[in-house]
Amino acid sequence: MKKTSTKLADGRELIYYDLRDDAVRDAADRRPLERTLTTSEIRHDALLGDRVAIASHRQGRTYLPPTDQCPLCPSRGERLSEIPDSAYDVVVFENRFPSLAGDAGRCEVVCFTSDHQASFADLTEEQAALVLAAWTDRTAELSALPAVEQVFCFENRGQEIGVTLGHPHGQIYAYPFTTPRTALMLRSLAAHKETTGGENLFDAVLRRELTDERVVLESEHWVAFVPYAAHWPYEVHLYPRRRVPDLLALDDAARAEFPAVYLELLRRFDRIFGAGEPPTPYIAAWHQAPFGQLAEFDGVTRDDFALHLELFTIRRTSGKLKFLAGSESGMNVFINDVPPEAAARRLREVASS
């Protein structure tokens, strides 16, 4: 992998990740851009104990442009985009309309391929490995920033999810705090460790799942399963068999095997609802241990956390979505219409080989 860092016209950082070591990335951003004024602010909810990002400047962000005006496609001729070069493998750049900025964190966009019509599932294993390398590199760089406490790599796919740009891409959020969902996991880890005399909760969960009918696929270094208490109609958790706290700690064997496993999962997701259905909307989310101090979580260290990816769709059946209505949005109590065992059976049935 070759990494080349450059600047866009308004001063934002852009990084090319190339498969070839001889790639030359010297194209300049020819757009007459002024620096974007960002007004991100983190506010604390005293009752719930969580945080809300206030980012009013995002109201003006690009919304579902036609293909010939996509800002994530390469620049060609007089058609200028966020990527100055005429082609690329993987590109990461600072979001022009970030939810988090300055002391409130950082947001980046990850373009998986220059092919506008593709999806992550269309990538080759070599391309998927390059994306993993980019995620890992950005986790290392962002976690070193003084204000950053947690790094979150994720992909939103599909207009039903709220995607505003159709080009295959994901995002990375660098939070200046430990997110509420991760904090819940850490508290559960601490409680389980205390009540069991030191057992790791992630290890216990994975051990239980491996003996159950909800396993979707297994390989030497990874296992994917529908969790016992799945929140979403079709939800899969992907774990490395060797517990590690973050992407940086994955060994070479797990890295080498990841592309084939992950691409197979994504391709199965597109087969869930049968032929002729539009692409399955999904969220793919990497959960990594925070990089800050964990003193508030009794006896828990970063090494107790288990890196894993959660992949889920909001489509519950053909032509119908799972909405977060009163119980989910009002009380955070999910109601799942698809039994996890049935979801796992369907995901095994649609194997691509």
Q: Which residues are CB-contacts of 257 (< 8 A; sequence separation ≥ 6)? A: 219, 220, 221, 222
pLDDT greater at residue 101 or residue 193: 193
Q: Which are the catalytic amino acids?
A: 169
Mean local confidence (pLDDT), 301-311:
97
pLDDT for 273 equals 95
Residue 353 pLDDT exceeds 70: no
* Region 143-167 average pLDDT: 95
Tell me the average pLDDT across 110-127: 98
Q: Give the residue among 14, 178, 179, 177 at the shortest CA–CA distance from 104.
A: 177
pLDDT for 56 equals 76
CA pseudo-torsion sign 288, 291, 297, 300: positive
pLDDT for 91 equals: 98
HEC secondary structure over 241-308: CCCCCCHHHCCHHHHHHHHHHHHHHHHHHCCCCCCCCCCCCEEEEEECCCCCCCCCCCCCCHHHCCCE
Interval 198-207: pLDDT, tens: 999 999 999 9
Determine contact, residues 208/239, Cβ cutoff 8 Å.
no
Q: What is the pLDDT of residue 155?
A: 98
Structure confidence at residue 72 (pLDDT): 98
58, pLDDT greater than 80: no
* pLDDT higher than 80, residue 213: yes
Residue spans of beta strands (DSSP E) within 19-142: 41-44, 51-54, 90-94, 106-111
User: CA-to-CA distance for 281 and 231, rounded, in angstroms?
Assistant: 16
pTM: 0.96
Categorize the per-residue pLDDT at 34 as very low, low, confident or very high, splitting at 50, 70 and 90.
Answer: confident
Mean pLDDT (the chain, rounded): 95
Task: Give me Rg for the CA atoms of the chain.
Answer: 20
Name the pLDDT band for 253 (thresholds 50, 70, 90).
very high
Per the document, the length of the chain is 353
Average pLDDT over every residue of 298-311 = 97
> Residue 319, by phi and psi: left (phi above 0), alpha (psi -120 to 50) or beta?
left
Q: Which of 142, 140, 129 is nearest to 95 (CA)?
A: 142
pLDDT at 326 over 90: yes
pLDDT of residue 275: 84
Distance CA 3, CA 17 (A): 5
**What is the reported pLDDT for 352?**
67
pLDDT of residue 60: 65
Average pLDDT over residues 220-231: 98
- Distance between CA 105 and CA 126 in Å, rounded? 31
Q: Which of 62, 294, 51, 265 is nearest to 179 (CA)?
A: 51
Q: What share of the chain has pLDDT > 90, as a percent? A: 90
Q: What is the reported pLDDT for 59? A: 67
Give the CA diameter of the chain.
65
Output the pLDDT for position 300.
Answer: 96
Q: Is the pLDDT of residue 224 over 90?
A: yes
Calculate ∠ Cα 102-103-108, nearest 5°. Answer: 45
Instruction: Assess contact for 15 and 4: CB atoms under 8 A.
Output: yes
| Average pLDDT of span 328-345 | 97
Q: What mean pLDDT is predicted for residues 139-148?
A: 96
pLDDT of the residue at 133: 98
Could you read off the pLDDT of 69-108 as tens digits, one per residue?
999 999 999 999 999 999 999 999 999 999 998 888 999 9
